[in-house]
Chain A
Amino acid sequence: MAVVAQAVRSEWTKIRSVASTVWTLSLSVVLTVALGTLLSWLANHQFANMPARERLSFDPTNISFAGMTLGQLAMIVFGVLVVSNEYSTGMIRTSLAAVPQRATFLFSKIGVATGLALAVGMVTSFTAFFLGQAMLGSHRAHLGDTGVLRAVIGGGLYMTLIAMFSMGVAAMLRSPMLSMGILMPFFFLISNILGNVDATKKIGRFLPDQAGGHIMQVVPRAGDDVPYGPWGGLGIMGLWVVAALAGGYVLLKKRDAQ
Chain B
Amino acid sequence: MIELEGLTKRYGDKTAVDDLTFTVRPGIVTGFLGPNGAGKSTTMRMILGLDHPTAGQVRIDGKRYQQLKDPLTYIGALLDAKAMHGGRSAFNHLLCLAQSNGIPRRRVGEVLDTVGLSAVARKKAKGFSLGMGQRLGIAGALLGDPRILMFDEPVNGLDPEGIHWIRTLMKSLAAQGRTVFVSSHLMSEMALTAEHLVVIGQGRLLADTSMADFIRANSRSYVRVRSPQRERLLDVLHGAGITVVETGTGALEVEGGKAEPIGELAAQNGVVLHELSIQQASLEEAFMQLTAESVEYHAHSDSPPVPQEWGAGWDKGA
Using a CB–CB cutoff of 8 Å, the interface residues on chain A facing chain B are 2-3, 6-7, 9-11, 13-14, 17-20, 85-86, 89-101, 256-258
Q: Is B228 an interface residue (CB 8 A)?
A: no
Alpha-carbon distance A75/B91, docked complex (angstroms): 28
Let me know if B83 and A91 touch, CB within 8 A.
yes
Let me know if A18 and B100 touch, CB within 8 A.
no
Q: Is B257 an interface residue (CB 8 A)?
A: no
Highest count of chain B CB atoms <10 Å: which of A90, A91, A97: A97
Let me know if B100 and A6 touch, CB within 8 A.
yes
Among residues of A, the one whose C-beta sits closest to the C-beta of B81 is A90
Q: Is B109 an interface residue (CB 8 A)?
A: no
> Which bucket holds chain B's interface residue count?
20 to 34
- Complex interface residues of chain B between 91 and 133 (CB less than 8 A to chain A): 92, 95-97, 99-102
Contacts of B72 in A (CB 8 A): 97-98
Alpha-carbon distance A39/B210, docked complex (angstroms): 77
Could you give, for residues 54-72 of chain B, a 1 whenever the CB lies within 8 Å of some chain A CB and a 0 otherwise?
A: 0000000000011011111
Question: Separation in Å of the B122 CB from the closest CB of chain A?
Answer: 11
Return the contact of B100 from the options A99, A256, A257 (Cβ within 8 A).
A99
Known interface pairs A17-B92, A91-B83, A256-B50. Does A7 touch B100 (Cβ–Cβ under 8 Å)? yes
Return the contact of A20 from the options B52, B87, B96, B102 (Cβ within 8 A).
B87
Q: Is B164 an interface residue (CB 8 A)?
A: no
Q: Is the interface of A mostly helix, strand, loop or mixed?
A: helix
- Complex interface residues of chain B between 32 and 67 (CB less than 8 A to chain A): 45, 48-52, 65-66
Contacts of A89 in B (CB 8 A): 82-86
Alpha-carbon distance A6/B92, docked complex (angstroms): 15
Let me know if A96 and B49 touch, CB within 8 A.
yes
Q: Is B15 an interface residue (CB 8 A)?
A: no
Return the contact of A100 from the options B49, B82, B86 (Cβ within 8 A).
B49
Question: Separation in Å of the B115 CB from the closest CB of chain A?
Answer: 16
Let me know if B45 and A90 touch, CB within 8 A.
no
Q: Is B77 an interface residue (CB 8 A)?
A: yes
